[in-house]
Structure 1
Amino acid sequence: MKIKILKNIMLILAVAMLIGISSCRKYNSLGFAPGTGAPTITSVHTYYKMDTANVTSTITTYNSSGNASTTTVVRSGQPHAFDSITRAGNLGDYYLIEGANLGSATAITFNGFSAYFNRAMITDHSILVQIPSKTPYYGPHATDSLVVTTLYGKAYYKFSIIPPPPTVSSLSDFNFRAGSQIMLTGVGFASVTSVGLTGTNAACTIISQTDSTMTLQFPSTNVSQVNLVFTYSAGTATSTQELVDVDNAYQIFTDNYQNGWGSWSWGPASPSAKVVKSGTASFSAQFGANSWWIDGFRQGGGGATDGVPFTNGYNYLSFWVFGGSVDETVYIEFGNAGFANSKPGNFINAIDVPPGIWTYYKIPVSSLLWNTSAANWSANSAALLNTVAFFMPGNTVTETLYFDDVILIK
C-alpha cells in the first residue's frame, strides 16, 4: 500500500514539474526571463531613416553560353539604420521602446489604438513596434500617449503622432478661376494652416476642412498652371496634381463660345445649362446613331487667316466631357481642314469617353495629329488652328455628350 501511495506522489510531482517547465518555456523560449516588477518606459528610439540619395548598382548576369550582360539599377529612398531618441513618430514607421520589465508585454497602444507587435522582437528592456497607419493623430483622440501593458502593470509615456503630409487623392475640378472653389479629397488636411500656389505669391482661402476633405477658394493669378503648397504642423507639402488657371488659358468654350469661336457641328449642338461641370453652361453635342457625325468648334469662317498661331506656344488641349449612355470612342479633329468623315483619315487622336460621368482630358498638343495627317501642329507651324471638333463613328444609338472648359494651355 505504501509503495502504491509513493508511486502516486512521484507521479503527481512529475506532472507538476512538467507543468512548471512548460510554463517557464512560455518565456524562456525567447531567451530571457521577464521581470516581474512594474514596467517602465525610459525612451523611444528611431529604428531607421530613409536615405534620399540615389544608390546606383550594377548587376552582371550570364546566359547559358557564358556571355555576360550588365544592368544598371538606380534606387532611391532606401532605409538604413538610424538611432535617435524621439518623442514623436510617423504613421507606419518602426520605433524601439526602451525601459525595464517589458518582457511580459501583452498590449501596446498609441493614442489608445492597439499596435501589433512580434514577441520575437522583445527583450525585457526593449520592444520593436510599428505605429499603426490608423492611429489617431488629431482631435480629441490624439492624446499623445504611448502605453505598454504587461502582466505586472502599465507603463505610460508622452509620445506624439506626427500628422501625415497633406496628400490629395482627387479633386472636384482641375480648372479654377478667380473666386471659384474646388473640393479636395485625401488625407492630412486637418493640420493645414494655409495653402499657397507654386509660381505665385497668391494664396487660396480655406473655406472648410476635415482631415479627409478640404474646400479651397482660388485667387486671381498670373500663371497658367500651379501646384498646391500646403503648410501644416510638420512642415510643407506640394501636391502632385497640376491645376489650370482658366483665366490665363486660351478659351474656346467656357460657359459660351469665346475668342471668335462658334459651333461647327453636323448634329444639334449649342450651349446648355442641363449638365454643367463648372460655371453656368456646357456645350451640348448630339451624335446620331450610325451617322458618323462631327460636332465641335471653329474659329471665324475657318479660312486661312482664321485661327490661333502656333507661335503662341500652347502645350495642351484640355476639356471635360460628360459621357452618353455607353462607353464610346471619340476622335479629336484638330487643325484647319474640312474633316470629311472618312476612314482611316479621321480615325486619329482617339479618346475613350465613359458613360454618365465627367472625365477630364489634358492632351499634349505635340501628340495631336494635325488634320488627317501623320504629323503634328509643330510640323505645320505656319498654319493657324481654327478647328477643334469631335468625331463619333461607332455609336449605334444616338448620343448626347456635354463638353466644358475647352481650352488651350501654355
Structure 2
Amino acid sequence: MKNLKSIYFYCILSLITISILSSCKKNDSGNGAPSITRIRTVFQSSQTSQAVVAFDSTTTQGKIGTTYAIVGNNLSTTKSITINGVAVYFNSALASNTTLQFSLPNTTPYSNSGTSNTLTVVTAYGQVSTPFIIEQPIPGISTVSQLAGNAGDIITITGTTFDGLTGVSFGTTPAKVLTNTPTVITVEVPAGLSAGRISVTTAATKGGGIGTGPIVTSGKSQLSNNVTSEKQTSAIFGFNTAIYEDSFKNGWSDYGWGGGPSTDTKNLKRGTSSRTYSYTGGYDGYVIQPGSGNSVNENTAIKFSIFGGKGTSGKKINLILNYNFNVSVQLTLTEGKWTDYQIPIANWADASNPAPASVDALVFQEFSGNASTFSIDDIGITNIK
C-alpha cells in the first residue's frame, strides 16, 4: 500500500512538472500578449583612448538611419513595427522572444505636435505601444546657385530637412529669407559681406540644428612619387581676395602660351563676363599671375568656377602653383556645365613639396593631349578655417 502511495505521488509530481515545463515553453515561444520593457541603442556611439561609451543604453528617442533594439517579452511572433504610423524594418532573423532589432528609414516622419510619437509592435497574439520620439536630422545643403555675389543678389539653396527653418547666415551675418520649403530656400545676400560659410538653422521638437555646405569639388592631387589624394572642403561664399569677378581685381592679370585669353559675355557663371581660353594643342597653358593679396597658408584655398567648351567632357586640366610641376591638382571638364572648385593649399603639398606661402602663378595646363576651350569665372582666394 505504501508503495502504491509513493507511485501515485511521483506520478502526480511528474504531471505537475510536465505542466510547468509546458507552460514555460509556451511562454518562451511568444504565445502571449507582447510587452516592452525598454528600447536600447545597439551600436557604440563614440570612444576615446581613455574609455568606451557603453552601447547598451536605454533611450526614448531615435535618429534616422540608426539601429535600435526593443527589449520585452513575447516578441518572437512580431509581424510589424510602426513608428508614427509608418512601418519600419526589423530583422526577423535576429528576433527572439525578448528582443527585436529595427532601423529607422528616411521615410519615418520626424516627431512633432502632429505625430503620435509612438512605437507599436504587432505580434500574432496582440500589440503593445510605447512613447518614442524621432529626431529631425540637421539640415543638409546640397547645392548653392552661386558661391560669390553682391549684396542683394538672390541665392537659391537646395538640400534636405529644411523643416522648421529659423534662419540662414553668411558667416556671422544673417540673410533675408525670401521663400523656403523643406528642400529649397531662396535668400538675399546680405550687405557688408566679404567671405563666409553658409549655414542653415532649423528648430524641431527634437533634433534640427545647424547645417553648412555644400561640399565643393577639390580635384585630385597629383603628388610626387605617383601618389594621388583628394581632400574636399565645405564651400565658402565670397572671397577674402577677389582675383576675377567680371574683370581682374587687385592687380591680377592673365596670359597664355598658346591662344590668347579673351573676355566672354556668353558663357557666364554670373555677372556680365568670364574669361575664355582656347588651348591650341596638348599641354598648352593658361596662366593667372598675381597682384596684391597673394599670400596663402594652410587655412586658405583657391576658389573658381570652370566651364567646359564643346567636346571637353572628361578632358583633364592640371592646375599648378608657382610653376612647381612636381605637384598639381587635376580638374575634369564637363561640356556645357560650370563646376565649382575650392582647392585647399594643402592639396599641393607633400613630404617633398611644402605648401607655398604665396601664389606667384596659377598655371592651368592642358593634360589630355589635344586642343580644347574652357571658360573660367569667380576666381579668388578664400579662408576655409
Encode CA deviations 1:136-182: one digit per residue, 9 max, x unaligned.
32599955343322334444455432212223344444445433444
Instruction: Report how far residue 109 of structure 1 moved.
Output: 1.4
For structure 2, the 5+ residue unaligned runs are 1-21, 216-233
Do the aligned partners of 1:204 and 1:218 also contact (CA within 8 Å) in 2? yes
In the other structure, the counterpart of 2:28 is 31
CA RMSD of aligned residues (A): 4.0
CA contact (8 A) 1:95 1:129 kept: yes
CA distance in 2 between partners of 1:322 and 1:158 (Å)? 53
Question: C-alpha separation between the residues in 1 aligned to 2:144 and 2:308?
Answer: 19
Q: Does 1:47 align with 2:37?
A: no
> Which residue of structure 2 aligns with residue 330 of structure 1?
317
Q: 1:167 aligns with which of 136, 140, 161?
A: 140
CA distance in 1, matches of 2:87, 2:30: 25
Query: Secondary structure of 1:81's match?
Result: coil
Whether 1:352 aligns to 2:340 is no
Task: Describe the SS at the equivalent of 1:400.
Answer: strand
8 Å CA contact retained: 1:331, 1:348? no
Whether the 8 Å contact between 2:73 and 2:99 is mirrored in structure 1 is no
What are the equivalent positions in structure 2 for 1:97-112 lying under 5 Å apart?
97=70, 102=75, 104-112=77-85
Matched, 1:390 2:364: yes
AA paired with 1:80? Answer: F
Aligned: 1:295 with 2:286: yes
TM-score normalised by structure 2 residue count? 0.68
CA, structure 1 residues 274+156, in 2 after alignment: closer, same or farther (shift >3 Å)? same
Q: Note the C-alpha offset of 1:348.
A: 5.9
1:377 Cα shift? Answer: 4.6
Identical-residue share of aligned pairs (%): 21
Contact 2:28 2:74 in 1 (8 A): no
Report the CA distance shift for 1:52/1:96 in structure 2 as closer, same or farther (over 3 A): closer
Query: 1:405 offset after TM fit, Å?
Result: 0.8
Other-structure match for 2:274 = 282
Deviation of 1:364 (Å): 3.7
* Cα deviations by residue, 1:218-277 (Å, 9 ceiling, x for unpaired): 32355634252523312523436433342x522221122223444424424222232222
Task: Rate the CA distance shift 1:334–1:132 in 2: closer, same or farther, 3 A.
Answer: closer
Task: Give the length in aligned residue pairs.
Answer: 330
Compared with structure 1, are the counterparts of its residues 217 and 363 closer, same or farther at alpha carbon in structure 2 (3 Å cutoff)?
A: same
Distance 2:320 2:73 in 1: 74
CA shift at 1:97, angstroms? 4.4
Compute the displacement of 1:93 (Å).
Answer: 3.3
1:352-394 CA distance string (max 9 Å, x none): 323323333333446669xxxx78653xx7xx84x54433265
AA aligned to 1:252 is: I
Q: Which has the larger radius of gyration?
A: 1
SS in 1 for 2:104: coil
How far, CA to CA, are the matches of 2:294 and 2:194 in structure 1? 20
- Deviation track 1:266-297 (CA, whole Å, cap 9, x = no partner) reads 4242222322223332211111245x543344
Of 197, 205, 210, the residue aligned with 2:176 is: 205
Written as runs of structure 1 = structure 2, the 5 A alignment for 1:13-32 is 28=25, 31-32=28-29
On the 8 A contact 1:275/1:402 being kept in 2, the answer is: yes
* Paired letter, 1:361: Y
**Distance in 2 between residues matched to 1:173 and 1:316, nearest whole Å:** 17
**Bigger mean CA offset, 167-176 vs 225-234:** 167-176
Distance in 1, Cα, partners of 2:354 & 2:241: 23
The offset of 1:42, in angstroms, is 6.2
1:224·1:244 contact (CA, 8 Å) conserved in 2? yes
- One-letter identity of the residue aligned with 1:270: S
